Amino acid sequence: MTRALFIIDVQNDFTEGGALGVEGGAAVAAGVSQYLSEHPDRYDEVFASRDWHDADNDNGGHFATTEPPDFVSTWPVHCVAGTHGAEFHPDLETSDVTVEVRKGQGKPAYSIFEGLTEDGDSVPDKLDELGVDEIDVVGIATDYCVLASALDALGTGRRVRVFSDLVAGVAPDSSEAALEDLTAAGVTVTHS
């Protein structure tokens, strides 16, 4: 078995004080780092995704520019490529990351599967190349990017788990619903 960890969007703009900060985001960064330090040999590969949006356009309508954001499909400007907000949170230890994925360049993107690796590979191609058959998912936000990434991972035929103690969501109700939807789909929702 080849196991990978997906760390989804643990970025400054998605943690407290950021453009779209969620409560508990910084704790997820620290928690993921602690988890990896306590289990150094658990994963063969560690993927880390980042929103990496264009600065000079609305990224396919993803950024609210003329109307207030609806926080469903339009959002405040966030995670613009090369800015502090797009960087990984400082409490996230990234030395174990083997594959970085950037998503959203000019278009809306929630799932890690909508991004590309630094080498320009798609995530499914990279998973196949590395022989990954089990994926654990952690990160931000439970009710959007974690949900989409875990469902897409499941759709590739791999065994998928989400660690509910290492995710943080936009809202409590939608985050709880997301975990229920994941369970119903066949994802194992458990604690790290």
Query: What span, in angstroms and rounded, lies between the C-alpha atoms of 62 and 52?
Result: 12
N-term to C-term CA, the chain: 19
Query: What span, in angstroms and rounded, lies between the C-alpha atoms of 66 and 111?
Result: 26
pLDDT at 41: 94
CA torsion sign for 72, 73, 75, 78 is positive
pLDDT at 72: 87
pLDDT at 98: 98
Which listed residue (9, 13, 51, 143) is catalytic?
9
pLDDT at 43: 98
* 126 a catalytic residue: no
* 79 a catalytic residue: no
Percent of all residues in the chain with a pLDDT value above 70, rounded to a whole number: 100
Which listed residue (79, 103, 136, 152) is catalytic?
103
Domains of the chain are 3-51+87-190 (3.40.50.850)
pLDDT of 125 above 90: yes
Which listed residue (79, 136, 145, 152) is catalytic?
145
pLDDT at 184: 98
Residue 30's H or E segment, with its range, is: helix 25-38
pLDDT at 5: 98
pLDDT at 75: 95
The answer to whether 93 touches 142, Cβ cutoff 8 Å, is no
Q: What is the mean pLDDT of the chain?
A: 97
Average pLDDT over residues 108-122: 96
Average pLDDT over residues 80-105: 97
pLDDT digits (tens, 9 = 90+) for 58-84: 999 999 988 999 988 999 999 999 999
Average pLDDT over residues 154-172: 97
pLDDT at 37: 97
